[in-house]
Amino acid sequence: MKLKVIIPNSGMSKETLKERELMLKSVAAKETEISVDCIEHGPESIESNYDEILAGKYIIDKVINAEREGYDAIIIYCGSDPAIAAAREIVNIPVIGPGKISMLIANDLAYKFSILTVLDQTIPHDEELVRKQGIDVTRLASVRSINIPVCDVRNDMEKTFNTLLEEGKKAIEVDGAHALVLACLGMAGMGKRLQEALKIPVIDPAFLAIKYAELLVTLNLKQSKKSYPIPPEKIRI
Amino acid sequence: MKLKVIIPNSGMSKETLKERELMLKSVAAKETEISVDCIEHGPESIESNYDEILAGKYIIDKVINAEREGYDAIIIYCGSDPAIAAAREIVNIPVIGPGKISMLIANDLAYKFSILTVLDQTIPHDEELVRKQGIDVTRLASVRSINIPVCDVRNDMEKTFNTLLEEGKKAIEVDGAHALVLACLGMAGMGKRLQEALKIPVIDPAFLAIKYAELLVTLNLKQSKKSYPIPPEKIRI
Amino acid sequence: MKLKVIIPNSGMSKETLKERELMLKSVAAKETEISVDCIEHGPESIESNYDEILAGKYIIDKVINAEREGYDAIIIYCGSDPAIAAAREIVNIPVIGPGKISMLIANDLAYKFSILTVLDQTIPHDEELVRKQGIDVTRLASVRSINIPVCDVRNDMEKTFNTLLEEGKKAIEVDGAHALVLACLGMAGMGKRLQEALKIPVIDPAFLAIKYAELLVTLNLKQSKKSYPIPPEKIRI
Amino acid sequence: MKLKVIIPNSGMSKETLKERELMLKSVAAKETEISVDCIEHGPESIESNYDEILAGKYIIDKVINAEREGYDAIIIYCGSDPAIAAAREIVNIPVIGPGKISMLIANDLAYKFSILTVLDQTIPHDEELVRKQGIDVTRLASVRSINIPVCDVRNDMEKTFNTLLEEGKKAIEVDGAHALVLACLGMAGMGKRLQEALKIPVIDPAFLAIKYAELLVTLNLKQSKKSYPIPPEKIRI
Amino acid sequence: MKLKVIIPNSGMSKETLKERELMLKSVAAKETEISVDCIEHGPESIESNYDEILAGKYIIDKVINAEREGYDAIIIYCGSDPAIAAAREIVNIPVIGPGKISMLIANDLAYKFSILTVLDQTIPHDEELVRKQGIDVTRLASVRSINIPVCDVRNDMEKTFNTLLEEGKKAIEVDGAHALVLACLGMAGMGKRLQEALKIPVIDPAFLAIKYAELLVTLNLKQSKKSYPIPPEKIRI
Amino acid sequence: MKLKVIIPNSGMSKETLKERELMLKSVAAKETEISVDCIEHGPESIESNYDEILAGKYIIDKVINAEREGYDAIIIYCGSDPAIAAAREIVNIPVIGPGKISMLIANDLAYKFSILTVLDQTIPHDEELVRKQGIDVTRLASVRSINIPVCDVRNDMEKTFNTLLEEGKKAIEVDGAHALVLACLGMAGMGKRLQEALKIPVIDPAFLAIKYAELLVTLNLKQSKKSYPIPPEKIRI
């Protein structure tokens, strides 16, 4: 099985992409091949609807290529699932949105969950995301931010972890969360430690997306073409 | 007052743009100036999430320009409100989504409304739109299609009108609609005739958007920067 | 265009009515005539369901007269929209409820809004109002009161403004509001100053209602007779 | 225990009121006294929001009197519960709305219920009623009408019953109802027969209201003054 | 009328059962006979889904017996309504869940209610209960616990009352409750005192269930067999 | 990894259990061991809440044993997820409800789904199930039945398949489903063929549950102890 991971951040180095590949391989089945790539142009990170629009076309380019190159499934490596509906329309292989599936699994394991996001200003955006997932919005306990921009999340991992821990505690004690979802894929790898410290499920979307892609491919499942129909032919200059 | 109307369809002729301007002027206040423009590149019409992604960047370019050029408000001339959230983030003047405001006004005038859309395959897309508007989704009676692509809607106006009439009747009699919303701005101008024939309010988003833009500008209202914060500074290559 | 504004408070002086007329004219189009009137009998202000019932018949009397006198639209000048459904049934011209349209426009401009009401004891009433508007109730961040009775709201304007400012701040910081709605039309004129101070949209229903009436009349829109059917003929002694 | 039943229809004869008293006594406890009265002025029946407004003040007059005369509870004898919120504010004894409690009990006994109403044009009104009761609106299977005006419901009882039977069957087979609610108190007495014929619970609000009033009085329960606060003192001319 | 009360707690003494009988008789009609029984095996109290499963079969045994013995209605004497759906399927007499009917009546008397439960760890369970009752979940102000296990609730009645009072006050002042529901039938008898102290309706499910059983039996109402169909014949070893 | 599959049907032969094991192995990872067992006593199939109660205790017995025997995860092999909440409380390894996770994954892949159930009389039960899963209930297009009892589903596989096909088509064309969920685990293996015929995703819960169990175990995820706390110590005779 071959999985394509598309990071909607421009300008990532080959080394970093390789590192992500290795990290994700750690949870994959032996026979799963993972190829991590980033977009050619667009914003260096996704922190607004504006960023999502700028990244959109470049994500789609990579999505179309991945299908042509014979990949079995595509992961858009961002908690906001940018361009996910368009991607699901344009190809016939499963396209996974780590944000959506993370919330759904949180909702299986717990009655109420909170989301830990990067910035105060991405809180409203993430609340709106929940409303699009088909989940009853009263299941969301809260969205809390660590106030660290995406590009800095992995700079000082200890600081990031400690802030996640602090906000996670408040989500449990003040807001009544029974599970947590990491909103930013840059937080990948911190879920496990956080879960051990907080004693509630913490969904780490990066790894969940890999296992979920394997699940879909093995079971021969993909997005419905009734929900995501093939776009009509037309001039697109 | 100067209003910028951005049509997210590429390749429109100057004559057509001029025609739209004249049509829209007919409901505007005397002192309102209207400038209609279309996107430089992208799809010739919006009929999918894919089209919205392709049009996105070019819509934003026009939006930024419009603010620079001193316009008082911007209308994204499409019932799907493509790129609306990004546009509302990136400028400090009101950005109007004809789709959203049409549903809200339908919801003021009637307990239940139906949407008349272009294609069978845009029905699910339009149902999802309703869920994003803050409206209780049980207020939607139905979405029905006329099965005429956007680019053909204005080719045979009589055929378009008759199909709208037929589907509108079914929306009322079968689905229980108390008001109708035209989903495609290409249907502009048919609302009035439809309303006379069907005896229920028909929201014609093109004209509503103009009057609503005037309302917002006069009252000094615009989108909240808490909901649509200014995107953080970063590299966007 | 001739607009009739009906204030559901009894015993207002001609001077006060004239003052309101002048105030409202300030946002109206030049060609719009505004006539402000109050009810002949009933309570001096609306602060309960009881007041609404007492005012009801007198509002309807004025509504019927306004249609007979050739007005183009009617505004029931109160944030509770008393007798609005009955009024919309009994006439064939648009009847505007400032409360409902204010919440809908707040919902267009922001993901979440709070309402600023007069008394602690009107908070539950205003929460129920939201549930009747077709809006998803989870969009309401909070209702907060200034604890000043309707009849005193305009006595010490500075005090009223300062309390609105204080509660508005709490609505934003504690409750997460992205926009504010003034619940009482007696607060008319304070929206603008509040908006400047708080940097989020503040809906001032008095002025919004005027511009919205103009919008409806220009676009030839009014309430649906499917939602608000003409009452059957019968004995009404 | 003394119960006051207020029928919001003007002009009823003493005989008819007496008849209703006897009918209602049939389900009451031996020690329960029932006094049935109608409003002094207002419409002869309630079939619109307009009728509710016209009847409002006269209902309230009777409500205030009933408390003064030492009644233990008040029933506003109409499925629309007109003036119920005002009545609950203005007195300190329980005020029962047969419409609301009927829907709540239907919701206890069944997952989904339909409402049988008088006229096609009261269907939207009754759907809106459901939304005010705190019930999840997706529990409503449908509202169906028998197309017989309130004043004629008891003229040809056999015709009324047969139409109720016919519409009740459709509610079950077409709409998926598991229980039925009679919307009009004029249908009183037909619930039992309908239930026997259709084999699902049929809520007959007139009788339910009596037993529910007894329940509340015995348990010393009444409406919350947090939800229905006493109206502030003021001039009400 | 003969009512069967089944307490889903094993090992209760005859004296205690007798005491409950006397207590419940105090609100019953003179002609109502009440027989209180407990389950033969299973947990000594219900404080988890696990307890409900263990008690389930023994509740059903008693339910089937009660119908055979000619009882007119059955009350499952627990705020969690354990095995209620199964019980409603298996017999043809009304089965009352005190939890569900308490929430529905709270919802009639007030716009918002809180639940007072036994343990911190039963809070999520009780929140889930609300979601099953057909009530709009935004009507729930909060669930608060007194942190006293079911088996100790009646040991130190003064302590229990004082803690209920304290948490009830917080429910009103902090969470905005307009009415309270006691979640545990062990709290029976404290509702009245609590109501007097807090001045809002307090639903005491034990007594409500008795009066509601009388109401259903008198009106010849019971659960719908469309919602609770008779289980198909099969081998059940 | 060792998975325990517990079928809540009594009296299954060793051969049948072995067959299920082989069938499920077909989608499992090579290193996954699957052990299929059925309950010792209780109903031969689950078709009512009554069956769920009877099976409950025996399911829990097997669940507790499975944890003791060192299994990594447990699947309760039934679309109704009987005793799932109790099972999740009583052990510290993941317990999977095929019904819940099937609906959540259907909700990831499609905007609207229908459920295909066994009997007309299980339709209401399955509709209620959806309401417990945290999913917005308006995402459910319909529940349709094939009218074949659980015990006969695998007797005439061709008949079962054809009826599923027929009802699946109606779900798509009449009800607007974009994906299907098989409600009964006895339908295992028919999802694939159905999906090929109907061209929309069909969730086959038996296989999905295996892959989802692997996903949870690999990612070290399990149910939240905040949602499913360990039951308090007590006498359970």
> How does the average pLDDT of chain D come out, rounded?
97
Mutant choice from A174, A215, A216 vs F, greatest count of F C-beta within 10 A: A215
Chain C residues with CB-CB distance to D57 below 8 A = 53-54, 56-57
- Judged against a pLDDT cut of 90, whether residue D227 lies above it is answered with yes
Q: Quick one: pLDDT at residue B211? A: 98
Residues of chain E with pLDDT under 50: none
pLDDT per residue as tens digits for the range F9-41: 999 999 999 999 999 999 999 999 999 999 999
Q: Measured between CB atoms, does B67 come within 8 Å of chain A?
A: no
Question: Within chain A, what is the greatest distance between any pair of CA atoms?
Answer: 54
CA atoms within 13 A on the CB side of E170: 12
Contact B149 A41 (CB under 8 A): no
- Residue E237: the pLDDT is 86
D215, pLDDT greater than 90? yes
Query: φ and ψ at A200, to 5 degrees?
Result: -130, 160
Q: Tell me what the mean pLDDT of segment D27-46 comes to.
A: 97
Q: Which amino acid is at D183?
A: A
Tokens 């309390």 map to which residue?
C163
Q: Do C211 and B219 touch (CB under 8 A)?
A: yes
For residues C198 and C178, the answer to whether their CB atoms sit within 8 Å is no
Measured distance CA(D82)–CA(C53) in Å, rounded: 10
The shortest C-alpha distance from C110 to chain A (Å) reads 10
Give ipTM to 2 decimals. Answer: 0.97
Query: Average pLDDT per run of 10 along chain C, which is 237 residues long?
Result: 98 97 97 97 98 98 98 98 98 98 98 98 97 95 97 96 98 98 97 98 98 98 98 94
User: Two tokens at C29?
Assistant: 């189009």
Secondary structure of A110-177 in the HEC alphabet? Answer: CCCEEEEECCHHHHHHHHHHHHCCCECHHHEEEEEECCCCHHHCCCCHHHHHHHHHHHHHHHHHCCCC
| Contacts F52 to E, Cβ<8 Å | 86
List C-alpha distances in Å: F1 to A181, D27, F93, F225: 25, 65, 12, 22
**What residue type is C146 in one-letter code?**
I
DSSP string, chain F: -EEEEEE--SS--HHHHHHHHHHHHTTS-TT-EEEEEE-SSSBSS--SHHHHHHHHHHHHHHHHHHHHTT-SEEEE-STT-TTHHHHHHH-SS-EE-HHHHHHHHHHHH-S-EEEEES-GGGHHHHHHHHHTTTB-GGGEEEEEE----GGGTTTSHHHHHHHHHHHHHHHHHTT--SEEEE--GGGTT-HHHHHHHHSS-EE-HHHHHHHHHHHHHHHT----TTTSPPPPP--B-
- Distance (Å, whole) CA F34 – CA F36: 6
Residue B128 near chain F (CB below 8 Å): yes
The identity of residue E72, as a single letter, is: D
Give the pLDDT band (50/70/90) at residue D142. Answer: very high
| Closest alpha carbon within chain A to F189 | A219
Amino acid residing at E63:
V
Size of interface C-D (CB pairs under 8 A): 126
Contact E118, E145 (CB under 8 A): yes
- Determine the average pLDDT of the residues in F116-122: 98
If pLDDT is split at 50, 70 and 90, which confidence band does B237 have?
A: confident
Q: How far is A106 from chain B (nearest CA, A)?
A: 22
pLDDT tens by residue, D177-211: 999 999 999 999 999 999 999 999 999 999 999 99
Q: Which of residues 165-204 of A touch E (CB under 8 A)?
A: 178
- Cα separation, E225 vs F40, whole angstroms: 30
Contact A89 B48 (CB under 8 A): yes
3-state SS class at D194: helix
Q: In the sheet that C2-7 helps form, which strands lie side by side, from edge to edge?
A: C33-38, C2-7, C73-76, C95-96
**Cβ-Cβ contacts under 8 Å for A131 (sequence gap 6 or more):** A137, B131, B132
pLDDT digits over D95-133, tens only? 999 999 999 999 999 999 999 999 999 999 999 999 999
Token pair, residue E231, equals 């289980």
Residues 84-103 of C with CB under 8 A from D: 85-86, 88-90
Is 90 exceeded by the pLDDT of residue D8? yes
Closest residue of chain A to C110, computed from CA coordinates: A124
What is the C-alpha to C-alpha distance for residues F221 and F64, in angstroms, rounded to an integer?
A: 19
Which residue pairs, CB below 8 angstroms and at least 24 apart, start in E186-193?
E186/E45, E186/E118, E186/E150, E186/E153, E186/E154, E187/E116, E187/E153, E187/E160, E188/E20, E188/E23, E189/E23, E190/E157, E190/E160, E190/E161, E190/E164, E192/D220, E193/E161
The HSE-up count of residue F146 (CA atoms within 13 Å, CB side) is 30
The set of residues, in sequence order, having a beta carbon less than 8 Å from that of D203 and lying 6+ positions away, is: D102, D105, D106, D113, D179, D180, D181, D182, D191, E221
To test the contact with chain A by mutation, choose from C113, C138, C174 the residue with the greatest count of A C-beta atoms within 10 A, namely C138
Cα separation, E142 vs D94, in Å, equals 25
CB proximity list for B52: less than 8 A, separation 6 or greater = A86, B8, B46, B80, B82, B83
Phi first, then psi, for residue A132 (nearest 5°) are: -90, -5
* A29 part of contact set with chain F, CB < 8 Å: yes
Q: What amino acid is encoded at E60 in this protein?
A: I
pLDDT tens readout for residues E30-64: 999 999 999 999 999 999 999 999 999 999 999 99
Instruction: Quickly state the pLDDT bin for D237 (edges 50, 70, 90).
Output: confident
Does D136 contact chain B (CB < 8 Å)? no
| Domain range annotation of chain F | 2-97+208-219, 99-204
Chains B, F: CB contacts under 8 A, how many? Answer: 7
- Exposure string for A54-70, b = 16+ CB within 10 A, e = fewer: bbbbbbbebbeebbeee
Residue spans of alpha helices (H) in chain A:
14-25, 49-68, 84-90, 98-109, 123-131, 157-173, 191-198, 205-219
Q: What is the CA radius of gyration of chain D?
A: 17
Q: How many residues are listed for chain E in this entry?
A: 237
State which residues of chain A have pLDDT below 50: none
- CA F223 from centre of chain: 17
Where does E2-97+208-219 sit in CATH, by number? 3.40.50.1860
Q: What strands, in cross-sheet order, belong to the sheet with F140-145? A: F140-145, F113-117, F179-182, F202-203
Spell out where E39-139 has E strands. 73-76, 95-96, 113-117
State yes or no: pLDDT of F237 exceeds 90.
Answer: no
**What per-residue confidence (pLDDT) applies to A110?**
98
Q: Cα D169 to the chain's mean position, in Å?
A: 22
Provide the pLDDT for residue C237. Answer: 86
Spell out the CATH class of E99-205. Answer: alpha beta
Judged by a CB distance cut-off of 8 A, whether residue A137 touches chain E is no
Cβ–Cβ gap A124/B227 under 8 Å: yes
| D39: nearest CA partner in chain C | C237
**Measured distance CA(D179)–CA(D172) in Å, rounded:** 8
What are the residues facing D181 on neighbouring strands?
D115, D203
Would you state the pLDDT for residue A237?
86
